[in-house]
Amino acid sequence: MSNRRDRHQRRSDDKRRRDGHDGGQRKQHRTVTSVSSGQLPKWVREEIQRSTPKDRRDPALNHLAKALNQFADERYAAALPELRKAKNLAPRSSTVREMLGLSAYRTGQWEEALRELRTFRRITGDVIHMPVEMDCLRALNRPGDVIKTWNLLQELDASATVGHEARVVYASFLLDQGKPRDAWQVIKPGRLVASPSPGELRRWFVAAKVAIEAGDKDAARRIVAALDEQDPDFEGVDELRAVLL
């Protein structure tokens, strides 16, 4: 899918979650996926202890620790078996469900990713990964469910970061459906701020694509120029420049 995160973008997202920033608006979800490697944080071990029977805690933590190192190295396919074992031992752990869902997503296991991230949302009440749920539904060619998830997210108290990601996914979905003008209403960036977040940069990129498809190359050029000022090596911008020549 066109909005899937590349390595640079994932690291930017994870840094913002680790630092607790969301465009200055609110504290972000605390997630083990932003830990570089090594020992599991204390709060993860405490979460496993709270949610898991005593005789299963240590083996669950061992599998999770192995998976963390693999996840940090972006070896998501290698992390999946360890996370599935951890899930069997600690099915009520939101940390396990989150890591399993994201690893499945990044290896194209759409059904498993959707199932695990929905379970994570039920356990925690956190909507941070609803845009990823939408992208899984998009990949599974379930347009009605993409729309339902988008509409549900509009009713919830989502952060600006989640909002940007959701717009990226939904506008890309509308492009898939051959509706660039509808996509523009979703993705148009408004003011091109001087210090955009990683999510805003992705939004600008998709907005430029949408503008091209909608026949507004002037808007696309303005957005690409803004992207060049912030990150001239942003993945995919070279292709946009070629179209705009």
Statement: residue 200 has pLDDT above 90: yes
Residue spans of beta strands (DSSP E) within 14-92: none
Mean pLDDT, residues 81-97 taken together: 97
Q: Examine the domain organization and report whether 107 and 148 are in the same domain.
A: no
Q: Examine the domain organization and report whether 141 and 241 are in the same domain.
A: yes
**Residue 3 resides in a domain:** no
**One-character DSSP codes across 214-228:** TT-HHHHHHHHHHHH
CATH number at residue 38: 1.25.40
Average pLDDT, the chain: 89
Q: Which pTM was predicted? A: 0.87
As a dihedral over the C-alpha atoms of residue 83, residue 81, residue 78, residue 136, rounded to 10 degrees, the angle is -70
Statement: residue 4 has pLDDT above 50: no
CA atoms of 244 and 237, how far apart (whole Å): 11
CA atoms of 209 and 202, how far apart (whole Å): 11
**Residue 230 resides in a domain:** yes
For the stretch 203-233, pLDDT in tens is: 999 999 999 999 999 999 999 999 999 998 9
**Residue 14 resides in a domain:** no
Q: Which domain holds residue 185?
A: 128-245
Mean pLDDT, residues 170-174 taken together: 98
For the stretch 8-49, pLDDT in tens is: 334 444 433 333 334 334 456 788 888 888 789 999 999 999
